[in-house]
Amino acid sequence: MKGIRAGQRYGQWVIAGEEPLGAGGNGQVWRAEAADGPVRAIKVLSAGGGAGGRYRLGRFSDEIAFLAAHPHIPGILPLLDSHISDDPGEASWYVVPIARPIREALGSDPDPAVVVGAVGEIADTLASLAAEGVAHRDIKPDNLFELDGRWVIGDFGLVTYPDKDPRTQHGRKLGPLDYMAPEMRQDADRADPGPADVWALGKTLWVLLTSAELPLPGTHRPFEAAHALRERITFNFAAELDLLLEQATLTEPGQRVSMEEMARELQACTAPPPEARPAASLAELHARAAALTAASRDHVTRRQERQDRLTGAWQELAQIVAATATELNSLLTFYIHSQDNGY
C-alpha cells in the first residue's frame, strides 16, 4: 500500500519490517510494535474515496464491529485494538495477534488426521456462529490460522449477521471465486450464506488434504480419481470423507449437510478408538445404558399398553358375542315353542 513504511505510526502501533505480511482486496497486513514491546499484526484499510472507498470502509467497520462483539470465542482471531475514520485522508486500521497461516502450521506433507482435526475444529466454530445466524462468506486456507495451539478463523470482512445493514452492491461477487458456492456466483445478494460456508469449507478441506494449490470445480465426485481422496491420501476414513465432501458440495444448497453435521462427522473421524478412551465409572456406565435403552423401554411399554388394550377389547367383544348368542338362543327357543303350540 502506497505510503506505508517501516516506522510509520498508527495510534500506539509502529510499523515494523519492510514488507507486508499479506494483502487483500480491503487492505494490507503488517507487523507492528507497541511502545511496551509486543509485536502484533495490523491491518490497514486501502485508501480511496468515492463509492468504492465508502463500500470498503463499510465492510471494514462491519468486520471490526463483529470482532468487538465476539471477544471470547476461542476459534476467532481476537481483536486487540482498532480505529475507524470517516475521513478518506486518515487511515482506518485494526490489530490482532500474529498467527501462523494454516498451510504453514500444517507443513508441506501434513498428517491427514491433523488436517481433519484442524478443519473439524474450524467447522465447530462456524457451526456455533451459524447457530447465531452468523456466516463468514470468505472461507479459504488464507483466512485460517493456528494461534496458541488452536485453529482460528480470521478476516471477517464479508461477515453477515442478524440486523446487519446490507452492503452488497448489486452484482458484486463475494468471497474467493475458487471456493465460492454456485449460488454465490449467481446471486450473492440473495444466497443463503450458511450452505455457502459449508461448500467453501469442503473445498478448503480437500485442498489441505491433497496439498493442492486450488480446489477442483463443481461438486466433489468420490468415484473419479481426480477427486477421490482415497486415491490421494492414506487415511482410514478417506472414503467417508469423500462422501462427506460430496454432501458438502451439492449444487442445491438445501441438500448440503449443515455445518453442525460437518463438524460432527469430522470429529468422529479423529475420535480415539474405544480401547484408547478413558474407562468410564460405574455411574457413567449406568447413565449411558439408561440413555441407550430408554427408547427400547419406551417401545416395550407402548407395545404392552397396546397388547393390554387389545386383550381388553377382545374380552369385551367375547362378552358381547356370548350375550348375543344367549339372546339369539332364547329367541330361537321361543320361536320353536310357539310353532309347536300353533301360534
Give per-residue pLDDT as tens, 49-103. 667 778 888 889 999 999 999 988 899 999 999 999 988 778 999 999 999 999 9
Residue 167 confidence (pLDDT) above 80 = no
Q: Are residues 240 and 307 in the same domain?
A: no
Q: Are residues 114 and 214 in the same domain?
A: yes
Q: What percent of the chain has pLDDT over 70?
A: 82
Residue 171 confidence (pLDDT) above 50 = no
Instruction: State the pLDDT at residue 343.
Output: 57
Instruction: State the pLDDT at residue 46.
Output: 78
pLDDT band per the 50, 70, 90 thresholds, residue 293: low
Instruction: State the pLDDT at residue 193.
Output: 94
CA-to-CA dists, residue 54 to 48, 256, 282, angstroms? 8, 35, 63
Instruction: State the pLDDT at residue 327.
Output: 79
CA angle 86, 66, 4 (to 5 degrees): 45
5 vs 168, residue with greater confidence:
5
Residue 9 confidence (pLDDT) above 60 = yes
Condensed to tens digits (0 to 9), the pLDDT of residues 212-260 reads 999 999 999 999 999 999 999 999 999 999 999 999 999 999 999 999 9
Residue 271 confidence (pLDDT) above 70 = yes
Instruction: State the pLDDT at residue 279.
Output: 59
| Residue ending a domain, choose from 98, 116, 147 | 98
Q: Are residues 253 and 120 in the same domain?
A: yes
Least confident of 65-69, 164-168, 272-276: 164-168
Residue 272 confidence (pLDDT) above 70 = yes
76 has which bridge partners?
Answer: 153
Please provide the average confidence, as pLDDT, over all residues in the chain. Answer: 85
Q: Are residues 178 and 270 in the same domain?
A: yes
**Grid-cell match 456455533, residue found:** 128
Instruction: State the pLDDT at residue 299.
Output: 52
In angstroms, what is the C-alpha Rg of the chain? 33
User: Which is nearest to 194 in space by CA: 240, 162, 152, 157?
Assistant: 162
* Domain that residue 33 falls in: 1-98
| Residue ending a domain, choose from 98, 130, 151 | 98
Stated pTM of the model: 0.76
Q: How many other β-carbons are positioned within 10 Å of the β-carbon of residue 211?
A: 15
Residue 291 confidence (pLDDT) above 80 = no
Q: Are residues 181 and 118 in the same domain?
A: yes
Q: Are residues 5 and 142 in the same domain?
A: no
181 vs 162, residue with greater confidence:
181
**Residue range 261-271: mean pLDDT, rounded:** 94
Number of domains in the chain: 3
Q: Are residues 246 and 305 in the same domain?
A: no
115 vs 322, residue with greater confidence:
115
**Grid-cell match 475521513, residue found:** 87
Instruction: State the pLDDT at residue 170.
Output: 46
Q: Are residues 156 and 255 in the same domain?
A: yes
Q: What is the largest CA-CA distance in the chain?
A: 133
Q: Which residues contact 1 (CB under 8 A, 6 or more apart)?
A: 20, 23, 27, 28, 44, 46, 47
pLDDT band per the 50, 70, 90 thresholds, residue 334: low
Q: Which residues contact 147 (CB under 8 A, 6 or more apart)?
A: 77, 97, 99, 100
Q: How far apart are CA 316 and CA 222, in angstroms?
A: 61
User: Which is nearest to 31 in space by CA: 8, 65, 48?
Assistant: 8
**Residue range 282-286: mean pLDDT, rounded:** 64
pLDDT band per the 50, 70, 90 thresholds, residue 148: very high
Q: Are residues 86 and 127 in the same domain?
A: no
205 vs 282, residue with greater confidence:
205
| Residue ending a domain, choose from 69, 98, 127 | 98
Condensed to tens digits (0 to 9), the pLDDT of residues 306-325 reads 777 777 777 788 788 887 87
Q: Are residues 65 and 175 in the same domain?
A: no
User: Phi-psi bin for 211: left (phi > 0), alpha (psi -120 to 50), beta?
Assistant: left
Task: Find the CATH number of the domain harbouring 23.
Answer: 3.30.200.20
70 vs 338, residue with greater confidence:
70
In 110-236, alpha helices (H)? 112-131, 182-187, 193-210
Q: Are residues 14 and 125 in the same domain?
A: no
Instruction: State the pLDDT at residue 161.
Output: 83
3-state secondary structure of 13: strand
Task: Find the CATH number of the domain harbouring 117.
Answer: 1.10.510.10
Q: Are residues 108 and 138 in the same domain?
A: yes
